[in-house]
Amino acid sequence: MAAELESLIPDDTEPGGDGVVLTRLANRLVNRIPMLCTLKTFYDGKETVPTKAVPRNMDVTSSAIYRRFVDICPMNLASTIANAVITSQKPTGFRLVSDKTMRSTDADDMWQSSGMNLKSLNMLRDAAIYGAAYAQVFKVPNPSYVVRLSPWNTVVSDDKSAAIVYGFDMDNLQERITLYRLVRNDNGDVTDVYSRTAVREAKTRTLYSDSTDDEESVYATANDDTQKRPALQPQFQWLSAADSEPYDFAVKCGCLPIVQLKTPTGRGWFEPHIRTLSAIDQQRFQRFCIQEMQAFKQRWVSGDLPEYYTKQDPAVKAGRARAGDKIDYSTMFELGPAALWLMPKDAKMGESSVTDITPIVSAANTDIKQLAGASGTPLSILSPDVSGSAEGAKLTTRMLRLKVQDMNARANDAFVLLLRMALTASGENGDAYQERFETMWEPVETPSDLEQAQAASYVKGLLPVKTIMRRFLNMSEMDIAEAMQDLQDTAFATALSQENTLVNGKTSQQSAPTLDTAFGATLDTSLASDGGTFDMSADTGETLDSDNGAM
């Protein structure tokens, strides 16, 4: 039988109540913190090999050398695995699915005003490293409608009916946990969305964050198994009653004001490979130790060596020692460019042999190849010296493309939901919660300008111009709109130039036979200056004849 859950709010222990729901989500967040520390440590390249690997009972100098190896042996492949996906995801904006010519202006404006160009990239980064990313929509833009939340402070339930956000108020020295809940009727329709905040007096925050202020504690938690794990104390009290008024936009959209973006497994891209990454670091540590020991070879002297000086020893005769003193061989074999060793009769010298580290390096390269295959990361990214054909490179990047496409689809749902709530909260588009939006993405692998031009030329005349721009030139909807406007401006300018050329040509033909009269020359000049586009040849001739007759 499962242990009874101890509510963080002692006064609220009703099953299914707000206190119990908050406690369950808070416990999930607390249990996740140690893994988040490990993921951040590996991504930052601050992981260390276990301290048990450092030899003990050594002198101070040797111990310091091994400690340095512990610091420099991490290879930081975790960031490479995550960045391979992060750098391939580039949202460019939104458009309405029903909008066939232009993307939604309201959606673009909201995306820009909320700073989602940067926030979306940060959310994709959080998802790649920690497995989940969060953002919240507010009714009032303070400073914007959409605010990114940290996975270190936020948790959403599996059914997306509840969520919590942890925070620490440094001014009032209080820990705060805000609970968000969604209420449905018997038909499954959302009827209410509300929030409640629980507080506890505290001098410092209990849970770590991903800020630079907590890095030392985060790295210590990840690298030391004996480090104490954080735990929330059951001393919280509700600050106020439930409040539904700020979340009417969420009720219309049928969801919580907090949106979650997760990877397919809910884990970071390199989280399943933490042990492999640790093994590679361990092998590098061992290789450094072997190389260091080979740089300073061990030498020894074997044979029947006397233990005490005698009167016949050169050191006694030279006055550097006295007969009967114990011989200190450690001072006799000093290293130096011109050092000479005076060795006893029949003594033999020996030194350690060179250790071949090629098998260790080969084993490490094999582990990196297996890591590339298991994580779906192109080997050329983890090991830049890999060479091969262009077709082979495309095959190796197929898994990465599939990962990016899968994450783009998941991110599309999260971004669209954020956009709907933000537009609904702003009141600029009352039907935004019913609209179908689509996130526009740059291609995973952007082709060269020559390849795009060739592809566009192949389908010219077979597909519409906008389709060619969108699919083969990888232009966004805004770029397409600007290009079409430029085409219209160019067509208008060309037509106007041709018309002016035609008018000027006709005018010059009419002015030739009337150059012998002053009146005709004046008339031609006035027509040319007015820039008329009509034919005056017949009327001009009649007028000239009648006038000449009168004269």
Instruction: Encode pLDDT of 179-200 as tens digits.
Output: 999 999 988 899 999 999 999 9
pLDDT at position 518: 41
Query: How far is it, in rounded angstroms, from Cα 375 to Cα 364?
Result: 16
pLDDT at position 539: 41
**Segments in 148-244 forming alpha helices (H):** 215-223
First to last CA, the chain: 125
Query: How far is it, in rounded angstroms, from Cα 469 to Cα 455?
Result: 11
With a cut of 80, say whether residue 15 has pLDDT above it.
yes
CA 375 from centre of chain? 17
pLDDT at position 532: 40
Highest mean pLDDT among 72-76, 363-367, 534-538: 72-76
With a cut of 90, say whether residue 161 has pLDDT above it.
yes
Query: How far is it, in rounded angstroms, from Cα 199 to Cα 210?
Result: 22
pLDDT at position 123: 94
Whether the Cβ atoms of residue 88 and residue 400 lie closer than 8 Å to each other: yes
More confident residue, 51 or 205: 205
Parallel/antiparallel/unpaired status of strands 190-201 and 174-184 = antiparallel
Alpha-carbon separation of residue 382 from 77, 78, 286, 520 (angstroms) = 7, 10, 21, 84
Which helix or strand (DSSP H or E) is residue 303 part of?
Answer: none
Query: How far is it, in rounded angstroms, from Cα 115 to Cα 258?
Result: 17
Query: How far is it, in rounded angstroms, from Cα 310 to Cα 324?
Result: 6
Q: What share of the chain is helix, strand, coil (3-state, %, to 5)?
A: 50, 15, 35
More confident residue, 5 or 33: 33
| The pair of three-digit structure tokens given for residue 220, joined into one six-digit string | 């210590």
Mean pLDDT, residues 152-177 taken together: 94
Which helix or strand (DSSP H or E) is residue 537 part of?
Answer: helix 537-550
Whether the Cβ atoms of residue 527 and residue 507 lie closer than 8 Å to each other: yes
pLDDT at position 2: 42
Q: What angle do CA 226, 271, 177 make, to 5 degrees?
A: 70
Beta bridge partners of 182: 193
Q: Which residues of 234-272 are buried (b: 16+ CB within 10 A; e: fewer)?
A: eebebeeeeeeeebebbbbbebbbbbbbbbeeeebbbbe
Whether the Cβ atoms of residue 110 and residue 233 lie closer than 8 Å to each other: no
Query: What pLDDT, in 10s, does the model give residues 496-543?
Result: 888 888 877 766 655 555 434 443 444 344 333 333 433 433 343 343
Cis peptide before 143 (omega within 30 of 0): yes
Position 267 confidence tier, pLDDT thresholds 50, 70, 90: very high
With a cut of 50, say whether residue 338 has pLDDT above it.
yes
Query: How far is it, in rounded angstroms, from Cα 268 to Cα 43?
Result: 10
The DSSP output letter for 186 is: T
93: left (phi over 0), alpha (psi -120 to 50) or beta: left
Cα R_g (the chain), whole angstroms: 39
Position 206 confidence tier, pLDDT thresholds 50, 70, 90: very high
| The pair of three-digit structure tokens given for residue 344, joined into one six-digit string | 């006893």
pLDDT at position 226: 82
Beta bridge partners of 154: 165
Mean pLDDT, residues 315-330 taken together: 81
